[in-house]
Structure 1
Amino acid sequence: MRLVLLGPPGAGKGTQASKLSQLLTIPQLSTGDMLRAAVSEGTAIGQQAAEIMQRGELVPDQLVVGLIAERIGRSDAARGFILDGFPRTVAQAESLDEVLENQELDWVLELKVDEQYLLNRILGRAMQARESGAVVRADDNEGALSVRLTAYTDQTKPLTDYYAARGLLKTIDASQTVDRVTAALVGAIG
């Protein structure tokens, strides 16, 4: 099963991708994790990405798509995969289509959450981190969330339209408990 998980920052994409990965026994592919691994492993793409990241710039689509292509070509992804955090734009989705060649995505699962709920979740996560002595994520604040949500909305609305037009988009209410969201996702793909 080949899945894409979409959702705004704080919607629970990573949590749900991890749970689905275990349930479906297919790998969760987070572009951030893959970039860090490629850099650490010193792959050709990792070396190029490291230079860009050290300058504080965003890694261009071409490199990210190359990384995705390399990763989904591994044997553990032969039965499928869950893309977490990619694609973020229609251009990336079109590049993914090219990488997949004759394969098709099975579903694109959008985690939909009200902005106030996201803010409460993000601020709660920051408070828990502070109380436990853990490091608070730099972007776990109202200002950063607002910027991230605007970027997400601007980039993702056309992306959801792109996948809806192809009959691949399923939208899930992600303001429920983690287990209920997981159950809804499994029901949507089942």
Structure 2
Amino acid sequence: MELTLEESLVYPQQTTRGATQIPELKFDKLLEGLTRLVPRFQFRLPPYFINNARALSTLEGIAKSLDPSFNVLQILYPYALNLLITNPSRSPVVDATLQSLLRSRITGRIQRKKLVALLEDSALLSGFRKRRVVRDVMRTPEGKRIVGRIVGEELNHRFTGGRVFRSRSRRRKDELRTQSVYYQYLNL
């Protein structure tokens, strides 16, 4: 499995000022590796899987012949980040994935550095300013919930030393306050 990933993903040599390195996906190598793994681990693939995979491989080849610098992951990464941050399906798996990306394994607290890196990656890859990314996230119900959790946890830790503290106020006023604190927290 590791060999398949090593063959399928090629990482760039240099990066731009701390930006996340997006590897290039060699789709044909990935498909080849998967076909080796299927019989070994007795996966059951739907009959259309191979046809779809071949079609994607062909489309990638056409795109690369037109633009040699084409990287399918550069197209998919911003979309995946958006789905991860907004979680429109409210999937517990997506939420757990986001939490594992943001939280410290030792303390369980959200790490500002990881949050800012995720925000910067999203802004860089989407071409939008960080404030716009935050505003777009805040417009989704799941985004509000996640940002509220982040801000609530930070305020709780700062003002109560980690003890549980919750207050109820008007919804819109809280949303504006949360957004303002979140901007200050990220130094925007």
> In which range does the TM-score fall when normalised by the shorter chain?
under 0.3
Q: Which has the higher contact order (CA 8 A, sep 6+)?
A: 1
Length-normalised TM-score, structure 1: 0.27
Length-normalised TM-score, structure 2: 0.27
Structure with the largest fraction of strand: 1
